[in-house]
A and B are shown apart, each in its own frame.
Chain A
């Protein structure tokens, strides 16, 4: 299958053509947001990070920022810093510039305050958006796609309808030579043996067990029952009784292909095919990790319903049951409830999702994009100092 995408200087292909105002520090997020209100074609994200972070936590946040900027759905980036923060804007800017796209860096302190900075960033953004608008879409193969998969607000149908259908889609993407990311390590606890059995080699299988053990140990070290957070109250209301049960349903999103590698949060896959990214179950944090890792499109299944989207990647939301699809139609893009009702097979819905990926990659807007649902959240793995 093919789609019309935007070829970037590093050879990768975007399905959107955004100019990203990237605030490297929470203190710059409000200023960045005001620029997006002034200049169409720009996007940004609000967050609480970027200062007083150290060690691996610093690295993970830096990797996430840079990954968002390097995502091929972004034409160019204006990196906006305050000036004194730990995550220096110029360092993130230098990292993004390595992929050859236009990058400019602005500091609020150097510009003499909020208003001058808004004016400065807006002027740069106007020029960048106009340049972006000159880029023509070209015909690209599905092998150039990285598709993220996640589930949120799961119910007992998730593992029966939408997740297996996404699993079928995942298989088809891999058949086309593309990449499918499986995430949410928390929600693979209890299903890790099934994935490890599909690992490309012993090293991948070992890492699959290792990331599960690390995640499970966090709750054990805290002396808590993981069920106090997962399955969530909504999952339980929907019929899920334990994390293991949720995991067995969640893992069906991975389809049936070989597991090629297990990568760190916000890391770009080094292999094509099925890839597992180590993320928490938290919807927004896993979404951000996959987009920072280069996913141009994300599939998101839900039983309870969700408004979630990303500022730079279209998120196709798939309901597990028809009543919710009808109730939350403004948020949901596709219905897999037809499987539960016996009206369609898993393979048929999987094909329908493939066609939707193609349409969305060609430019069709998702509900989350239309509603400007620009969610962003970084998985923090250390305290702020």
Chain B
């Protein structure tokens, strides 16, 4: 059983939030609706940051609060830090409009 607190908001979510700094290689147990999900953390996750609770394909939507918060820029492994280096927002993207 993990001593590190995490928060998982919706059964459809692909990420969970660390509620304390979690060192790499830690195994954390996330409380989902009916089952507990066990995730091996691959890299240090700081308080307030997210990690993947399942593998996410490149280009796939990333889900938190049961809603889309962006898409994966690269394939993301289970237990990896999910942040601006591998997640891109999809809204207000004038830079994506053909010039």
Query: How many interface residues does chain B have, given as a range?
Result: 20 to 34
Interface string of A340-353 (1 = CB under 8 A from B): 10100000000000
Q: Which residues of A contact B49 (CB under 8 A)?
A: 156, 239
* With contact pairs A157-B48, A248-B64 given, residues A243 and B94 touching in the complex (Cβ less than 8 Å): no
Q: Which residues of A contact B91 (CB under 8 A)?
A: 189-190, 216, 226, 242-244
The interface-forming segment of A35-43, A94-102, A217-225 is A217-225
Q: Which residues of A contact B5 (CB under 8 A)?
A: 342
User: Is A264 located at the chain interface by the 8 A CB criterion?
Assistant: no
Q: Which residues of B contact A238 (CB under 8 A)?
A: 48
Q: Is A190 within 8 A of B69, CB to CB?
A: yes
Interface positions of A from 158 to 176, Cβ below 8 Å from B: 159-160
Q: Report the nearest B residue to A249, measured CB to CB.
A: B65
Query: How many interface residues does chain A have, given as a range?
Result: 20 to 34
- The residue from B69, B93, B96 contacting A241, defined by CB atoms under 8 A apart: B69
User: Is A155 located at the chain interface by the 8 A CB criterion?
Assistant: yes
A303 to B82, CA, bound (A): 20
A48 to B88, CA, bound (A): 36
Q: Which of A157, A224, A239 has the most CB of B within 10 A?
A: A239
Q: Is B89 within 8 A of A243, CB to CB?
A: yes
* With contact pairs A241-B84, A241-B87 given, residues A248 and B92 touching in the complex (Cβ less than 8 Å): no
Q: Which residues of A contact B17 (CB under 8 A)?
A: 156, 160, 239
Q: Which residues of B contact A219 (CB under 8 A)?
A: 92-94
Q: Report the nearest A residue to B9, measured CB to CB.
A: A160
Interface string of B69-95 (1 = CB under 8 A from A): 110000000000011100111111111
Q: Is B94 within 8 A of A190, CB to CB?
A: no
Q: Which residues of B contact A244 (CB under 8 A)?
A: 67-70, 89-91
A238 to B91, CA, bound (A): 20
Q: Which residues of B contact A221 (CB under 8 A)?
A: 94
Interface string of B32-51 (1 = CB under 8 A from A): 00000000000000111110
A93 to B69, CA, bound (A): 47
User: Is B7 located at the chain interface by the 8 A CB criterion?
Assistant: yes
- The residue from A157, A191, A223, A303 contacting B97, defined by CB atoms under 8 A apart: A223
Interface string of A307-337 (1 = CB under 8 A from B): 0000000000000010000000000000000
* A221 to B: closest C-beta gap in Å: 7
- The residue from B46, B93, B99 contacting A226, defined by CB atoms under 8 A apart: B93
* A165 to B: closest C-beta gap in Å: 15
User: Is B19 located at the chain interface by the 8 A CB criterion?
Assistant: yes
In the complex, 28 of the A-B residue pairs with CB atoms within 8 angstroms, ordered by the A residue number, are A156-B17, A156-B48, A189-B92, A190-B91, A216-B91, A216-B92, A220-B92, A220-B94, A220-B97, A222-B94, A224-B94, A224-B95, A225-B96, A226-B92, A239-B46, A239-B48, A239-B83, A241-B70, A241-B82, A241-B84, A241-B87, A242-B87, A244-B67, A244-B68, A244-B69, A244-B70, A244-B89, A244-B91
Task: Report A's interface with B, CB cutoff 8 A.
Answer: 155-157, 159-160, 189-191, 194, 215-216, 219-227, 236, 238-239, 241-245, 248-249, 303, 321, 340, 342
Task: Report B's interface with A, CB cutoff 8 A.
Answer: 5, 7, 9, 17, 19, 46-50, 64-65, 67-70, 82-84, 87-97, 99
